[in-house]
Structure 1
Amino acid sequence: MREQPLVDISTVDAVERRRGPQSSSLVPALTLVSHPMADRAGERVLLSTQRGVAVSRNEPAFMRPGQGPGAHLADPFLSRKPVMFFAQPDGRVRLEPGEGSRVAVAGLVLEGPWEFSAEEVAAGVPLELAGRVVLLLHLAEPASAEAPDALDMVGSSVGLQRVRRLIEQVADLNVPVLIRGETGSGKELIAQAIHRRSPRRHKPFVSVNLGAIPKELAAVELFGARKGSFTGSVRDQEGFFQAAHGGTLFLDEVGEAPPEVQVMLLRVLGTGEIYPVGERSPVTVDVRLVAATDALLEQQIQEGRFKAPLLHRLSGFAIRVPPLRERREDVGMLFHHFAREELEPLGELKRLSPEEATAEPWLPAALAVRLVRHDWPGNIRQLRNVVRQLVIGNRGQPRLQLDAQLEAELATLNAAASGRPSERPAAPAASASPRRKPSDITPQELLAALRESGWEFQAAADRLGIFRTSIYDLIERSPGIRTAGSLSVEELKRCHRECAGDVNAMVRKLEVSKRALVRRLKELGLGAPE
């Protein structure tokens, strides 16, 4: 294994991905997360900046990237009156619900046009249509010739497509590869894909988790040992490098390698030679090394726990795996993929393709939205476990429901991808507070800010130093604060009479959002002013 010229190439990081279409050729798109015909998850349509895109029961055709032809949403509960989407050159997207079209964003039914900022579109906005179909508004590449399951990796997100391209670029070369990404993000799948695309595909692929090997045994396990080299050694022992001869050795959690093993790895990367424990003569091995870590190796180098030359040798070519929260458009496809794996042995695959077009979705829209909005700290591994728990826990039931355990697990949301609609971004007030964490704000502080701001959510958000989208989540978690949607018809009518139809007076009396109150009054035909 001779040393190769170093090439340090990595996938785009999260910051660059969130910059919006100005920094790349990405365009807004709508991807199916959930549909009564569950196997349609992952189909999408691109939004053109030249003209609006009408989405209804009968238009347009949604299709998988790299495949065709597509099909209409075709759910009988969707309106024939289209929802219009207008993509702006600066990355904003305007949504105009059609008459009779029920569009909800994180539980809030839209009664008029809404505009999503470029930042919101980049983060991903889940949209519910008629309470049955869930679409994700997000950024996508304008064209892709790749099937979404290429290289046996499920998904068609921007980050995953870039990973696929990097695999194709490096697979046939004999350079070491360092795969970096969070736990559960699928690093071993990438190592396997590199091996299958390489000239070594017919030779062994050996996977080793260094974090699972006792440190005192790591050298023996990796490089082997000669008979009598340590107590209990009664015969020669072959190490993982020799087992992978001619093929690929995948070292997971390489940051856990003990110092003496790091020195030996440096040698084998530079010379292609190993010294089995107790052996004085080198043994030549022909192994392509692929390593992976979720650790901050640069920090370990500063702390003296990892050797800088080893990092340079390992990262002859670097691939960063995006976490699941950066590829929310893949959640629907991944859920369907894992659900199929669980349903098949149960004999319940029919759940994914009901015979009746009017059947209730097996994956309810509200649950699909929660899955998309979840932060997924355990990434794909965590999603797989959630799917298994859901499928087995709801065995034989017509639709999926969360139990107490899963309810608690999915309770944490990513505020940046909360998906609540926001108005056109306004300039922050001069007296706006520094940015704070929504979790630091108490219900009493929230209520005081809302009262001081006349129940204008943007003004309250500026006072609190949070984003407007976080106000909705804070209200949901504050049982002492009501919403216009929770008010009874009798209470609304009584307050309307007492305030003589003065909406501002009603807002002060009821302590709810003016915009939401006006909507309720219109629904009741109480003649609320614009």
Structure 2
Amino acid sequence: MTKKPFFDESTVGARGRREPESEPRRIPALTIVSHPVPGRAGERLLLESLASGGEVLLSRNAPDFMPPGKALGLPLAAPFLSRKPLRLTPGRDGGVRLHVDEDGTPVSVGRPVKGVLEWSREALAAGVPLELAERIVLLLHEEEEDLEEAPDSLGMVGGSVALRRVRRHISRVADLDVPVLIRGETGTGKELVARAIHQQSQRRKGPFISVNLGAIPRELATAELFGAHKGAYTGSTRDREGYFRAAHRGTLFLDEVGEAPPEVQVLLLRVLETGELFPVGASAPLSVDVRLIAATDAHLEARIDEGHFKAPLLHRLAGYEVHLPPLRERIEDLGPLFFHFAREELRALGEAHRLDSEDARAEPWLPVSLAVRLLRFGWPGNIRQLRNVTRQLIIGSRGQPFLRAEPRLLRELDSGAVPLPSFTVDDTPVSAPSSKAGSRRKPSDITEPELLAALRENAWDFQAAADQLGIPRPSVYDLVDRSPNIRTAGDLSPEEILRCHEECHGDLEAMTRKLEVSRRALSRRLKELGLAPKPQRLG
């Protein structure tokens, strides 16, 4: 089966000749997105034995998840996971099967699931979020075997296949004094890549000048870039050095190069060809020693066809091309990126200690329902948008023990959600729940009395209540969190649980009705307190 790569791995030489590389071998993997210990986000488990027809047993005690670039790892080590392992076995045509037993660790894929689930290679390429026991979120995806690693992270967060390829490209071109063209959607981190190239180059001790061509007024672009003599144009009251001369013996980064006016394009081409420029009002050229790195989110070939961009300039800019993948094609990096931005925001608030927890029994600071929403969102604004959403969550949750999203943000995430990949259960095709299809009603339209009535009618089974209300199950958790008169199992004191356990003689069903909390969460609290409920099966 032909696999579509995460992004175009071919490189473009000075003559525009593409040199495709052989397709590497891909294997399934699991990456931690959310865990009660925040520092574990990004650790991954390669499911190598599946490629040879073997199986992987996943439990609280084994196998080890490895931090990127490290030789030692740890198991999930979460006491609320069942000792009975989940089984992962090879599926058809390179897919993966997950065996979920009735009395094992509860698993949700948009909803609780049991039996033998199977995903195709196409589903793995898109990424499948798995919720374990409502405490851990893993992403089932594909990994590339034996992909050469760059010497260090180069200042970029993540360990995905796509990002490792970018690092490899940077390492290849950094010490070569050739122009580089960085292509990628808005918000993918093009300036970060340009800075990494500069820092790895022989010009690292020289200046790095960053210029957004789209932000410079057209009538000033020439003078801003190439300089101007005093009196060269109306309003010119002093000599202007210009960005090129400011970057002498260093690197000049031109973002949004596709927005350069025609007259600027001509002058850029001359500088690239001769190393000389004419300041506005000058009669003699000046020599400059600058390495040019350009970036664009525009389709320059289409702009050439439309007559808006000069083909010779593209050929000069593209001494070497680096393609940056959008966030949706490196979604396994979302967890590390989120916690990286969260730590920066918390540090500014003096609350960075929130992410230092090592207690595997704790409620996850990033709730699983919110983590899955972040995974399923399409991220049209890429990493920049993720950073903004992280800041919104941090500030909006000040004073709260866990992150909480306001209804407006939840609606935004739900409306932009990408449907979960479909799968089969015991060979029966199943369409994984779509947030758009599941949200027959807006969660914000559900009143507290209506929510409470649905929970009582369904014996506090959150999935059944969600189906009755016509909303996704994660929305029930969010509504409960925002309802002052509805408690969660986490709100119960040990004394109250112990008293109810004695009154109900350990009957979990009776305790659930009496305490009016989720049966699954109550069962977990009982285990944490060393109390054994009568029914051993989790609902």
TM interval, shorter chain, is 0.7 to 0.9
Superposition pairs of residues 240-389 of structure 1, within 5 angstroms = 240-354=243-357, 356-389=359-392
**Aligned equivalents of 2:367 and 2:20: distance in 1?**
34
SS class of match (1:233): coil
The range that moved more, 79-88 or 301-310, is 79-88
Distance 1:424 1:160, change over 3 A: farther
Amino acid at match of 1:26: R
Q: Which residue of 1 aligns with 2:449?
A: none
* Distance in 1, Cα, partners of 2:416 & 2:151: 27
1:511 alignment counterpart: none
Does the 8 Å CA contact 2:119/2:424 hold for their aligned counterparts? yes
- Structure 1's unaligned 5+ residue stretches are 13-21, 426-455, 459-467, 493-522, 524-530
Match of 1:32 in 2: 32
Of 133-142 and 240-249, the range deviating more from structure 2: 133-142
Whichever residue aligns with residue 395 of structure 2, its letter is: I
Assess, with a 3 A threshold, how the Cα gap between structure 1 residues 489 and 342 changes in structure 2: closer, same or farther: closer
Tell me whether 386-395 or 143-152 shows the greater mean CA deviation: 143-152
Q: Does 1:156 align with 2:165?
A: no
> How many Å separate the matches in 2 of 1:321 and 1:80?
41
Deviation at residue 300 of structure 1 after TM alignment:
1.1
| Post-superposition CA distance 1:347-368 (Å, at most 9, x none) | 3223223354322111011111
Match status 1:6 vs 2:15: yes
CA distance in 2, matches of 1:161, 1:11: 17
**CA positional deviation for 1:26:** 1.5
Q: Is the 8 A contact 2:252 2:292 kept in 1?
A: yes
Which residue matches 1:418? 420
Tell me whether 1:57 sits opposite 2:52 in the alignment.
no
**Cα contact 2:373–2:417 (8 A) shared by 1:** no
- The residue aligned with 1:100 is 103
1:81/1:407 Cα in 2 relative to 1: closer, same or farther (>3 Å)?
A: same
Relative to structure 1, the CA distance from residue 261 to residue 319 in structure 2 (aligned partners, 3 Å threshold; closer, same or farther) is same
Provide closer, same or farther for how the CA distance between residues 86 and 148 of structure 1 changes in structure 2, counting only shifts above 3 A: farther
Identity over the aligned pairs, expressed in percent? 57
Would the alpha carbon gap of residues 280 and 113 (structure 1) be closer, same or farther in structure 2, given more than 3 Å must change?
A: same
CA distance in structure 2 between the partners assigned to 1:47 and 1:340 by the alignment = 30
Query: Would the aligned equivalents of 2:37 and 2:359 in 1 still touch at CA under 8 Å?
Result: no
Work out the CA distance in 2 between the residues paired with 1:250 and 1:8.
24
Helix, strand or coil for the counterpart of 2:353? helix
Distance 2:437 2:208 in 1: 52
- In the superposition, relative to structure 1, how do residues 201 and 27 fare at CA in structure 2: closer, same or farther (>3 Å)? same
Distance 2:258 2:115 in 1: 53
In structure 2, the CA distance between the partners of 1:41 and 1:215, relative to structure 1 (3 Å rule), is same
Shift of the 9–38 alpha-carbon distance from structure 1 to 2, 3 Å rule, reads farther
- 1:8 and 1:399, CA in 2 relative to 1: closer, same or farther beyond 3 A? farther
Secondary structure of residue in 1 paired with 2:273: helix
The residue number in structure 1 matching 2:438 is 476
Inter-partner Cα distance in structure 2 for 1:82 and 1:424: 19
The answer on whether the counterparts of 1:47 and 1:86 sit within 8 Å (CA) in structure 2 is no
Partner of 1:495: none
Instruction: Please give the secondary structure, in 1, of the residue aligned with 2:125.
Output: helix
1:44/1:63 contact within 8 Å kept: yes
AA at the equivalent of 1:152: G
Partner of 2:42: 42
1:115 Cα offset (Å): 0.4
CA apart distance, 1:413: 3.9
Which residue is 1:441 aligned to?
Answer: none
Superposition map of 1:90-129 within 5 A: 90-129=93-132
Shift of 1:297: 1.1
Matches within 5 A, 1:190-229: 190-229=193-232
TM-score, normalised by the number of residues in structure 1 = 0.77
Query: SS of the residue aligned with 2:414?
Result: coil
Aligned mate of 1:189, from 189, 192, 198: 192
Distance in 2, Cα, partners of 1:306 & 1:103? 56
Amino acid at match of 2:197: I
SS in 2 for 1:306: coil
- One-letter identity of the residue aligned with 2:124: V
Aligned residues: 436
Give the deviation of 1:103 after TM superposition. 4.0
Q: RMSD in angstroms over aligned alpha carbons? A: 2.7
Show the counterpart of 2:177. 174
Residue of structure 2 equivalent to 1:137: 140
Q: Within the alignment, does 1:407 sit opposite 2:369 as a pair?
A: no
Shift of 1:98: 4.0
Aligned-pair distance for 1:97?
1.7
CA offsets 1:312-331 (integer angstroms, 9 cap, x no match) = 11111111100000011000
| Gap change, CA 1:75 and 1:387, over 3 Å in 2 | same
Aligned to 2:527: none
Give the TM-score, by structure 2 length. Answer: 0.76
| Matching residue of 2:76 | 73
Distance 1:303 1:195, change over 3 A: same
Secondary structure of 1:352's partner?
helix
Cα deviation, residue 85, structure 1:
1.0
Q: How much does 1:52 deviate? A: 0.7
Cα distance between partner residues in 1 of 2:150 and 2:182: 23
Determine whether 1:83 maps to 2:86.
yes
**Separation in structure 1 between the aligned mates of residue 150 and residue 194 of structure 2, nearest angstrom:** 20
- Rounded to whole Å, the distance in 1 between the matches of 2:376 and 2:24 is 25
For 2:312, give the aligned amino acid.
P
Partner of 2:504: none
- Give the SS at the match of 2:357: coil
Q: 1:457 to 1:62 in 2, by over 3 A?
A: closer
Residue range with higher mean Cα deviation, 90-99 or 127-136: 90-99
Distance 1:362 1:10 in 2: 46
SS at match of 1:368: helix
- For the residues of structure 1 that align with 2:426 and 2:321, how far apart are their CA atoms? 39
341-350 vs 284-293, greater mean Cα deviation: 341-350
Structure 1 position 280, deviation (Å)? 1.6
For residues 230 and 238 of structure 2, the distance between their equivalents in structure 1, rounded to whole angstroms, comes to 4
- Residues 228-262 of structure 1: CA deviation (Å, up to 9, x unaligned): 21123233210100000101000000011000000
| Contact persistence 1:32–1:134 (CA under 8 A) | yes
Partner amino acid, structure 1, of 2:15: L
SS in 2 for 1:164: helix
